[in-house]
Amino acid sequence: MTGVSTLSSGDSRIISSAAVEPADRGGRAAAALVAPMVAAACALLLHWGLPSRQSPLPTRLYPMLLAGLLAAAVVLAAVHRAWPRLRPWARHNAPLLAGGIGVLAAWDLITLKLALMPLPYFPGPDMVLVGMVDDRGMLLESAYHSLILLFTGYFAGVAAGLASGILIGWFRGVRYWGMPVLKVIGPIPATAYIPLVMALFSNAFVSGSALIAMAVWFPMTMLTASGVANVPVSYLDVARTLGAGRRYLIFRVAVPAAMPSIFLGLFMGLCTAFLTLIAAETVGVRAGLGWYLKWQQGYVEYAKVYAALIIMAAFFSGLMTLLFAVRDRVLGWQKGMIRW
């Protein structure tokens, strides 16, 4: 009897709170969804309403971008209304969109409108957009070259790091000789090898990818080895009583158990690979985003420098997101979600 009464009182509390909350939450959701529209409208008014104090005078590209963002905000609100399943997604992204538009407007304000930052080093958003559109062929080609170089070096480094990491992690003898080598040469930044690599390989692509591979190899080896060496003995014992041989123990037990650690190595390797890629492209390689950056800097074309930086940001964060997606898929067996 008491159980029933507690239950019903609990129910009524839930009902009453449910009656209050949706209005409040709905109001907040509406505000969140309207925010990007308001931000885009304000940015447009600001751009058209205030006189420009820098030359050249702005083109129509920046207003077109803002109009596009305004349209995106409207689409987001429509999605929120029409598609209940995407509602949390829309609600999550609306404030971020508004914030992004706010940053654009602030940038426009302190450069073109108020001329607080000196040209040619700090062009406004319109100039950067113009640079990006004018040089789109070159930028795409540079991004393509960077991607090829990055992938060649990264995958070579990952493969080498996995192999040496498994050997060092599993075999005592290899660990004895391998660890000192790793400890001595590992911490040297790969870019310090630029003179050596350039002397070894006459081909700039080969030397560039070798450099990236070296940069990736170290964290990959370190983290694979520690993951493999720290596999719980109980898993190995179980596998041995199931009739497992060495191959099974290494590739079906030790390596899968080391996967969380291996993914840490993949992330750290990707970060050092970006760093080394840009460094390699600014010295030897005559193509790619790093090279483009340096080249445009030489001509004091800062609008194009920023354009290249924006492309680079999109390109690198895209690859990171991809790796995160792969990790979430491969490590789906882990309890809970790892957050880093």
> Encoding tokens for residue 49?
């309403």
Per CB under 8 A, contacts with another protein among 118-157 are none
Closest CA to 212 of 263, 306, 288: 288
112 DSSP assignment = I
Residue 53 or 240: which CB sits closer to another protein?
240
Nearest to another protein of 171, 235 (CB atom): 235
Max CA separation in the chain (angstroms): 87
**Helix residue ranges per DSSP H, the chain:** 2-49, 61-82, 87-108, 125-134, 136-170, 172-185, 194-200, 204-229, 233-241, 246-248, 255-283, 289-298, 302-330
Site string for another protein, 281-320 (x = CB under 8 A): ----------------------------------------
Total interface residues for another protein by CB under 8 A: 21
> In the set 85, 172, 329, 335, which binds another protein (CB under 8 A)?
335
Q: How far is the CB of 333 from another protein (least distance, A)?
A: 5
| DSSP, res 53 | -
Torsion over CA: 59, 60, 66, 69 (sign): negative
Distances in whole angstroms, Cα of residue 90 to Cα of each of 36, 175, 239: 12, 51, 47
Query: What's the min distance (Å) between Cβ of 222 and another protein?
Result: 22
Of 101-109, 120-128, 153-161, 330-338, which segment contacts another protein by CB under 8 A? 330-338
Q: Taking CA 255 as the corner, what is the angle to CA 222 and CA 265, rounded to the nearest 5 degrees?
A: 35
Closest approach, Cβ 3 to another protein, in A, equals 23
CB of 194 to another protein, least distance (A): 40
Q: Is 332 in the site for another protein (CB under 8 A)?
A: yes
Q: How far is the CB of 168 from another protein (least distance, A)?
A: 22
Tokens coding 1: 């009897």
Residue whose CB is less far from another protein, 83 or 251: 251
Span 225-264, contacts to another protein by CB under 8 A: 234-235, 237-245, 248, 252-253, 256-257, 259
Q: Cβ of residue 231: shortest distance to another protein, in angstroms?
A: 11
| Structure token pair of residue 123 | 């062009």
Tokens of 32: 């969140």
Q: Is 189 exposed, middle or buried (0-12, 13-18, 19+ CB in 10 A)?
A: middle
> Please, which residue, 138 or 331, has the CB nearer to another protein?
331
CA atoms within 13 A on the CB side of 224: 27
Nearer to another protein, 298 or 332 (CB): 332
Least spacing, CB of residue 170 vs another protein, in Å: 17
Residues 177-236 that bind another protein (CB under 8 A): 234-235
For residues 238 and 309, which CB has a smaller minimum distance to another protein in the complex?
238
Specify whether the CB–CB gap between 265 and 218 falls below 8 A. no
Whole-angstrom distance between the N-terminal and C-terminal Cα of the chain? 48
CB of residue 249 vs another protein: minimum separation in angstroms? Answer: 9
User: Which residues are at the interface with another protein (CB under 8 A)?
Assistant: 234-235, 237-245, 248, 252-253, 256-257, 259, 332-335
